[in-house]
Amino acid sequence: MPGAIKGPAIFLAQFAGDLAPFNSLDAITKWAGELGYEGVQIPAWDTRLFDLDRAAESKGYCDEVAGICAGNGVQITELATHLLGQLIAVHPAYDAQFDAFAPQEVAGNPAARQAWAVQQMLKAAKASRNLGLDVSASFTGSLAFPFLYPWPQRPAGLIDEAFGELARRWTPILNAYEDQGVDVAYELHPGEDVFDGATFEMFLDALDGHKRCTINYDPSHFLLQQLDYLGFIDLYHDRISAFHVKDAEFNPDARQGVYSGYQPWLNRAGRFRSLGDGQVDFIGIFSRLATHGYDGWAVLEWECCLKHPETGAAEGAPFIRDHIIHVTDKAFDDFAGGDSNPALLKSMLGITG
């Protein structure tokens, strides 16, 4: 029996800010609830909304957080750890940029930054369990991404070494999540070493098929790669444990294509858009997920390069609600059916004796 997708929900990371109602958990969840959202995905790194240290140590604090959300009509869907997972593996080319994701005291010290990120990820596992959550969304980080295009020719074994090291770094973290009964749903995202089905398989193989290695399905990144994002669900549905509902468009022309010529987001051939403004086939996606029994949350991630975020958020809740399929427990032609018994079946098939 197919499952029922839960939602609508909203990822709070792109909306959190220093001004009300976006600067506290109470205010932002009240805003989300009033827009019609039933769930919120909380960025574990944003101290304006959430104290990860306290959450890892105190079930009472987590009950308080869940109570604030419930009082505003929403549930917590997952803790998001994207900025923390990113720092598990950073190629030196990105050191300066990713220092911004960690405390100032570890800036310029990649080993210290990675050690800090590992501890944060372990805290998020405990916090997720204290919140009663079974899934956490994250990134893998990247060691191989600067070598994405095979020119100059890559030395033999380079990519295998990268994925082997990625698995060595993640295995103890995934084991800690296993201890807490929590999946890590990796968002397959360009810039990470794991960005499509092929790279997910490579990562999973290097992890010896670790059961806690799952997928945060986001079709926007697949559309911009020109990947079959509906067929992806058929291939990997048993590993999909989270879902970001995000739209995108790809409009190549005579000047640019997938790589988009170093252009800013507004001028790129591939751009993220608000729900319904892009080219993603959400009817097909919700149908495929429902067919395969996905029963997790449908979470809006807003990253439109044109529309105001508050407009996108207001439009997102009804969009998701309208696409969630209330799965039937009946066949459409049940009215034409009849009783069945072994004698009838044999008779219909011409079987005697």
- Which helix (H) or strand (E) segment holds residue 24: the answer is none
**160-182 mean pLDDT:** 98
Query: 226 Cβ partners below 8 Å, 6+ apart?
Result: 250, 258
Give yes or no for residue 350 having a pLDDT over 60: yes
336 within domain boundaries: yes
pTM of the full predicted structure? 0.95
Confidence of residue 352 (pLDDT cuts 50, 70, 90): confident
The Cα-based distances of 103 to 19, 43, 83, 95, 99 in angstroms read 22, 16, 12, 14, 8
Query: 129 Cβ partners below 8 Å, 6+ apart?
Result: 180, 181, 182
pLDDT tens-digit readout, 243-288: 999 999 999 999 999 999 999 999 999 999 999 999 999 999 999 9
Q: Is the Cβ–Cβ distance between 297 and 6 less than 8 Å?
A: yes
Number of independent structural domains in the chain? 1
Greatest Cα pair distance, the chain, in angstroms, is 84
pLDDT tens-digit readout, 218-241: 999 999 999 999 999 999 999 999
Confidence of residue 134 (pLDDT cuts 50, 70, 90): very high
pLDDT of amino acid 1: 43
pLDDT of amino acid 3: 59
Confidence of residue 332 (pLDDT cuts 50, 70, 90): confident
The domain spanning residue 101 has which CATH number? 3.20.20.150
284 within domain boundaries: yes
**50-73 mean pLDDT:** 98
280 within domain boundaries: yes
Helices (H) and strands (E) in the chain, counts: 13, 10
Domain of residue 266: give its range: 6-349
Confidence of residue 331 (pLDDT cuts 50, 70, 90): confident
1 within domain boundaries: no
